[in-house]
Amino acid sequence: MRRRAIVLNERDNVANALSDFKRGESVSLKVGNRIMKVDLRSDIPFGHKFAAKDIPRDNEVIKYGEAIGKASQEINVGEHSTSITSSALGGEVTSTKVDA
Amino acid sequence: MEFKGFPRRNGVGVRNYVAVACTVGCSGDVVQKIAQLNPNVKPLVHHQGCAQTPPDIIQVEKVLVNLGLNPNVHSILLVSLGCESVSAQKVADRISREKTVELVTVQEKGMSAAVSRGLELVKKMVAEAEKDRRESFDVSELKLAIKCGASDTTSGIVSNPVTGDVADRLIGLGGTVIFGETTELIGAEHIIARRAFNEDVARRLYSAVKDIERRAMSMGVDMRGGQPTGGNIKGGITTIEEKSLGAICKTGSSQLTDVVDYGERIQKKGLIFMDMPGRELEALTGFAAGGAQVILFTTGICAPQGFPIVPVVKVSGNPEVCRRLSEHIDYGLSAVLYGRQNIGKAAKGLLEKVIRVASGELTKAEIAGYENNFDIYVRGPVI
C-alpha cells in the first residue's frame, strides 16, 4: 500500500490523510498536475486534515473547493488542521486530541 | 455515449417491471400474496394512504401515480382496500394516461377473489411486457439519483468526491442528476444556493432547509447545534460546513437547475434538488417517483438495501468493507484510497458501471433480492 494523502480540489489549502501518519514523515501531494512534498509537523490520523499551505489566522480554510470555516490561529503547512471556526455556527472546534 | 433501455411514452426504462402496488397499507397483504404466486412481478408495499391529513393524502396519491409512471415500470396493478382516503380510481386514471393500469378492490369480493383476479391481470401484463426489447438511447435520457448512507470517513474523502465527478460528467453529457437529503444541507445550504440557476431556486432551497429545521425544533430538537458530533470530530471533521460538504460534494459542481417537492416528477435537465428526508425507506421512493431510472448510493460501512423498481448501485471506498461485504457492494473505490487511482479515472469507471446497469446488468441488491422494503414520506400526524 502506498501511504499518501489527497487534495480534493485544486483550490484547497488542506489535504486529507489516507493513512495514519507520524510527525516528521514526508507526504507527496498531487495538486492539479503539480506534485508537492509536505513534511508533517504533527501526527495525522487517517481521514484527518493537515495544511497543504500556510494558513494565516482568520483566513478561510478551503476543502472541497469551499470555505469550511476560518483559521482560529495560524496553521502552518504540515500541521494538523483542527483550529477552525465555523462560519455557519459561530462556534469553534479546537479539539486536537484524538483517541484513535 | 449510449445505453440500452425500453422506450416509454415519456422517457426510457432501464428495467421492464410489472408492478403491483397497494393504494393503502391495509391491502399490502394482498399485494404480497400476488407477488408470492407470480414472482415475475414487483410488489410495492407501503404503509400509508389513510387516516392522515389531506396534504399527506394528496402527497401519497402523487407518489403512487409517479411511481407507476416511473419508466422502469411497464404496467401496474393497483390493489385497493376500498374505503381508504386515497382515491385508488384517481391514481389509476392518472397512470392510465401513459401506460396500462388495472385495479382490484378487496372490499368487493374479499381477499381470495382479489388475489385470483389480480393474478389473472398480471399474467396478461407480464405476457405483454415480454414482447418489449431494449433499444439504444443517448445517456442524456438518464435520470440518475445520488444518495449516501451508513457513511464513514471514506465517504467524504473518496466515494462522494468520485460520485460528484460522475454527476458532473453525466450532466455534461446532457443527463439529469437528482439529490435530496434536506437535513444534509444544514450548515452548507449557502454554498449550494450559490450554485442555483436563479434567485427563486435559491429561495426554495433555503425554504426547504428552514422548514425541516423548524419541524425538528417543534419536537425540541436543534439539528444544527450538536454538529459535528464527537464521532465526526474523531473521524477528522471539524466544522458543520465540512460535514455537510462531505455529503454535498457528491453533487459535483454543476449549476442547480431546480428545487422540487418530494416525489414530484422531474421535468428539467441538469442538477435537481428534491426536498426529502435522509432515511432510505422514504428517500429512494422520492427519487423513484421523480423518475430516476438508476440510483447511485455511496456507503462507508454498508447500507445493503436497494429499491423495488429502481436498481441501486452501491459504492464504497472502505477497502475492508468492500472485501467483507462484497455481497452488497457493487463498486469498490479502494484504489482511490490507496492512491493507485485518481478521482477522475475512478469516476469514469463508475459512470461506465452505471451505464452497464442501465443497460441491464443486475446490481447486488437485485441479485440478492434485497430490495422490497420502502415507504412513502408523510409530514403530518397519523390520525
Contacts of A29 (CB under 8 A, 6+ apart): A4, A5, A6, A7, A15, A35, A36, A37, A38, A52
Cell of B18: 410489472
Confidence class for position A91, pLDDT limits 50, 70, 90: very low
Specify the pLDDT at position A2: 53
Residue B119 has pLDDT above 70, yes or no: yes
The whole model's pTM is what? 0.94
Chain B residues with CB inside 8 Å of A66's CB?
188, 191, 241, 245
| Mean of pLDDT values over B152-159 | 94
Instruction: State whether residue A4 is helix, strand or coil.
Output: coil
- Residue B158 above 80 pLDDT? yes
Which residue does chain A place closest to B344, by CA atoms? A8
Q: Pick the range with the lowest mean pLDDT from A55-64, B170-179, B219-228, B254-263.
A: B219-228
Average pLDDT, chain B: 96
Q: Which three cell numbers stand for residue B238?
A: 471539524
- Whole-angstrom Cα distance, residue A55 to residue A60? 8
Please state, in angstroms and rounded to a whole number, the distance separating the CA atoms of residues A50 and A17. Answer: 8
Query: In Å, how far from its chain's centre is CA B57?
Result: 20
Mean pLDDT of A62-82: 94
Question: What is the reported pLDDT for A3?
Answer: 60
Q: Copy the grid coordinates of residue B52.
A: 392522515
Reading the block at residue B370, the C-alpha cell is: 434485497
The residue of chain A with its CA nearest to that of B246 is A64
- Read off the pLDDT band of B339 (50, 70, 90): confident
CB contacts of A67 in chain B (<8 Å) are 241
Cell numbers describing residue B158? 473518496
**Inter-chain residue contact B240 with A67, CB threshold 8 Å:** no
Best CA proximity match to B19, nearest among B317, B309, B353: B309
What is the pLDDT confidence band of residue A89, given thresholds at 50, 70 and 90?
low
Q: Do A93 and B238 touch (CB under 8 A)?
A: yes
Could you give the percent of chain B with pLDDT greater than 70?
Answer: 100
Amino acid at B105: T
